[in-house]
Structure 1
Amino acid sequence: MTSRRSAGALAEPGARPGLTLAAVAVVQFMVSLDLSVVNVGLAQIAAGLGFSAVGLTWVIHAYALTFGGLLLLGGKAADRYGRKPVLLLGLALFGLASLAGGLAQEPGQLVAARAAQGIGAAALAPAALALLTTTFPAGRARVRAFGIWSATNAAGGALGVLIGGVLTEYAGWRWVMFVSVPMAACALALTWRAVPAGPPPVRGARPDVLGAVLATAGMTLLVFGIVRTDRYAWTSPVTVATLAVAVVLLAAFIVVERTTAREPLIRLGLLANRSVAGANAYNLLVGAAMAAAFYFASLYLQRVLGTGPALTGVEFLPFALGVVAGSVLAVKLGYRLAPRTLLVIGGLLTAAGFAWFGLISADGAFVTDVLGPSIVAGVGFGLCLGPVVSTATVGVAAHETGAASGLLNSSRQIGASLGLAVLGTVAHDRTGQAVTPEALNDGYALGLSLGAVLLLGAVLIALTVLRGDNPPARAGQVDDRVSLSARD
């Protein structure tokens, strides 16, 4: 009887769990959708605003870098100032930035709007996840809540391509930006009504803004140096100097976190936990592979096979459904299998799907070159989503949940930007200046094959770094291991 009461206990007095879950689900769907909704519209965005081939990648990088670079600051702000005010602020900024992006008249304006979206997402994503953690602290209610959260996360990322394709073809590319405005307004209203104020802000040192600036600037310069190798060779003074400054900034970030920050973005001792360190390394490689795959697959369908934006979005549906199916399956298997086992299985399936994708041909077709690998990779990716979050938060103190959530989200976004920068550059080098379907196909196939290699690296990390001795929780057992196995 005691376990049943504890399973449904709420950590926040006055919380309305149903509405809170709805608000968090809308937030996660919106954030995940915005990571992929622009992919199908990239060709039309380039034509409409005059982006160069390499400059176009900054529509992705601007969002991923500010999102990933500032997530740790967002997590600390949520822990210190309260989840509700940080969530409301992030939603307002995200909605306004989406509106500004849809109204952009030149490349720089769109890139700036995407960067502002990333800042807003960096505030709201860890606050939303920490809010869900405190609203559903244990038991079956937590399993169901994180199962719904995981499914909306997967659906947002995968269905973003479908929504982006339909909007681009029938309403224009600007609507891939405008679509987030009503979702942000809806989430804002739900959060204002459903989420309790929580405890008063914590008094003490301010969050480490200097650390956030150093980390974001270092990662931005690192990506900038990589993507500019199409103009400046890896050994050129420009590239070497850019990468050297990036390394110095990132080293300075570590020094600040270790020695001078009174309230560091991330307590570096947290990374001494093998589960935290291993899960974040796994997440970084998966994020790198997935971001590049969305980019290459979208361009392959449109530029090589000649598919229109709307149909391209429809042809991503098998992947979307596979991700949702894999996420649901992970929740069910989480009662029987250890998270590490699910990470290995999911990583191998996703790698197999990417290797299959690497066999695409210029005279191929959706049924023969895309459908099969989409299903395999989608189910595999869905299996990874929940277990990687459960692993990354095991043993984390309650007052560090926001920071830990920010770290995990950050590793995926930084991985996404680095993966797209490196694999995009390699694919561009393979293609050269040619724009024939055959040349483009060779570049995209190479990028997708290298994505499979990254995923095999993630599996190796799961096998060697993560612990596999956690027995799977039995159904009905009130244990954090049960509840965490459903998380994404």
Structure 2
Amino acid sequence: MTDTTTAVVDASTEAPTGHKQHLGWALVLISVAQLMVVLDSTIANIALPFIQHDLKISQANLQWVVTGYALAFGGLLLLGGRLGDLYGRRRIFMVGVALFAIASGLGGLAQNELMLLASRGLQGLGAALAAPTALALITTNFPAGPPRNRAFSVYAAMSGVGAAVGLVLGGWLTGLHPSILGMDVDGWRLTFLINVPIGLAAAFASPRVLVESETHKGELDLPGAVSATLGLVSLVYGISRAGDQRYGWGDAPTLAFMAVGVVLLAIFVMIERRVEHPLLPLRILTNRTRATAFVAMMIVPAAMFAMFYFLSQFVQNVMGYSPLHTGFAFLPFSVGIVLGATLASKLATKVDPRFVAGTGTALAGVALLMFSRLSIDDSTSRILQVAANGGHLGSNVSYWADLFPFILLMAIGMGLTFAPMFLAAVHRVDHRDSGVGSGVLNTMQQVGGALGLATLSTVAVHSIQDKAASLFAALPSSGGAPDPGMVASLKNVIGSQAAFTDGATHAFLTGAFMIWVGSLIVWIFLDVKHEEMATDEVEAVVV
């Protein structure tokens, strides 16, 4: 049984030496890998209708193109982080990005549903190996202080940029139909194939610019790995299923998956308390600074993912933007998160993390609050006009006045939040545990994202149903048989535009309060000083 003392040792002597000339390239490599992993969570979304048509995938199974990746990614993150600690982070990082590239190639060449879904699961496995080791490699390759602060700010920016860039790139690539090696290629396949050269190049460059960590072979906690992986997969799937309006929170299988996930994770904790070399040393969770970062990073990104989810649909369905135009509408998010992360990096050596991250979360909440105030003309006369003549109810919404300022504000707030939270998550972690510590952070983001989106989707669905019922009731009754075409048009205008807007604004308001809860946690519990963050001191562990 391990016991953490309050003693502190200076780990600066453990920092890699003689590789300063590679630090810039190391950061580029790690950032590109992170961008690739995050980008893949959204790049395929716009291509889904084309994938469904070409591979003859049913509507019920189409969700697995997204869910399969999310489950493998979220369920294997802890294991991926620990494998890096035990067998060398550079080695596992290389395996992860190479596997991701190969799986992407299989997805791009998929000839049927099974081949595509299997490739998405393999992509998730590759991402689960690469993501936590990438974060840990920053800790072990960059010395504490300004170099590490800058590295984490770039990493944080990539985490947010990937989602926005994925929408643009997905929309652009889906519209292409190039000829490769004499064969015509459907555009949606390019959303997968683009990862192949990037991933293989990253794997090839890794041993040239990254320093390998020490290894601890033979210490893998297999019972812990199995219980944690199955528990996380079951929990994430149950939560994701709860957010699907076909099932909801009252569905028996949904509740069963969540219950099984919780039980398996409880068993995992019991195992970790007893084994000599645990998959997740519980001392990682007992540090107040790290625990605060983990909880905050479970709540805050959930609201950000919901912003992309609901606002992208609003912009397309209600305002009438094309998929590519929608992608470009979110480009300011990429600019804003880079600005916020850069500012956070400069403030890290002068201001305590609580003030930087606390301000960032507060600003992001304000942005969501302003999105909740979006309004359209959903009067009966306007609905009948749009249903009869075509168009969109949201044509009165101004992108530059109603959306742009708050997309930018949200992004700056996230940039200010992510960088100090990443630093806090690895604060005083022993170098041999930094991989699994990073895995916990990534796991919290995945579980939090699934839980947040499921919760906000439930809020939205209830509002949509109530609003649609009231709008249909207000329509004037007509004598004789109704025109089927007009009925279908009315259902689209009321359901996908008017009622959806009401549901989305309620979700945005709920998201604002969620993120403010995260802000409150940061302000109250994140009491580490910026002077402490500038050192490589770690907790000494006595066995």
TM-score by length of 2: 0.79
Report how far residue 48 of structure 1 moved: 5.2
The match for 2:202 among 182, 187, 193 is 187
- What is the SS of the residue equivalent to 1:96? helix
**Is the Cα–Cα contact under 8 Å of residues 139 and 426 in structure 2 kept in the other structure?**
no
The match for 2:411 among 353, 363, 378 is 378
Q: How many residues align?
A: 470
Aligned partner of 1:128 in structure 2 is 134
Aligned partner of 2:535 in structure 1 is 480
CA distance in 1, matches of 2:234, 2:521: 25
CA distance in 1, matches of 2:58, 2:238: 20
Q: Which moved more, 1:402-411 or 1:419-428?
A: 419-428
**Is the Cα–Cα contact under 8 Å of residues 28 and 149 in structure 1 kept in the other structure?**
yes
- What is the SS of the residue equivalent to 1:341? helix
Aligned partner of 1:215 in structure 2 is 231
CA distance in 2, matches of 1:8, 1:254: 33
Task: Name stretches of at least 5 consecutive residues in structure 2 with no aligned partner.
Answer: 1-10, 178-186, 376-392, 469-490, 538-543
Matched, 1:320 2:353: no
Report how far residue 217 of structure 1 moved: 3.0
Is the radius of gyration larger for structure 1 or structure 2? 2
Aligned partner of 1:409 in structure 2 is 442
Report how far residue 353 of structure 1 moved: 0.8
Aligned partner of 2:516 in structure 1 is 456
Q: 1:17 to 1:368 in 2, by over 3 A?
A: closer
**Is the Cα–Cα contact under 8 Å of residues 238 and 254 in structure 2 kept in the other structure?**
no
The match for 2:370 among 343, 352, 356 is 356
- What is the SS of the residue equivalent to 2:40? helix
Q: 1:417 to 1:382 in 2, by over 3 A?
A: same
Mapping 1:22-421, distance limit 5 Å: 22-42=28-48, 44-45=50-51, 56-105=62-111, 109-171=115-177, 172-206=187-221, 208-228=224-244, 230-232=245-247, 234-259=249-274, 261-361=275-375, 362-363=393-394, 364-421=397-454
Aligned partner of 1:423 in structure 2 is 456
**Is the Cα–Cα contact under 8 Å of residues 93 and 134 in structure 2 kept in the other structure?**
yes
The match for 1:442 among 494, 502, 505 is 502
**Is the Cα–Cα contact under 8 Å of residues 288 and 415 in structure 1 kept in the other structure?**
yes
CA distance in 2, matches of 1:48, 1:426: 34
Q: Give deviations 1:409-436, integer Å, cap 9, x for gaps.
A: 1111221122222322432343349543
Q: 1:52 to 1:324 in 2, by over 3 A?
A: farther
CA distance in 1, matches of 2:30, 2:23: 10
CA distance in 2, matches of 1:457, 1:188: 40
CA distance in 2, matches of 1:32, 1:76: 20
CA distance in 2, matches of 1:458, 1:14: 38
- What is the SS of the residue equivalent to 2:444? helix
Q: 1:336 to 1:245 in 2, by over 3 A?
A: same
Report how far residue 159 of structure 1 moved: 2.1
One-letter amino acid matched to 1:193: R
Q: Which moved more, 1:191-200 or 1:312-321?
A: 191-200
Report how far residue 287 of structure 1 moved: 2.0
Q: 1:233 to 1:319 in 2, by over 3 A?
A: closer
Matched, 1:11 2:71: no
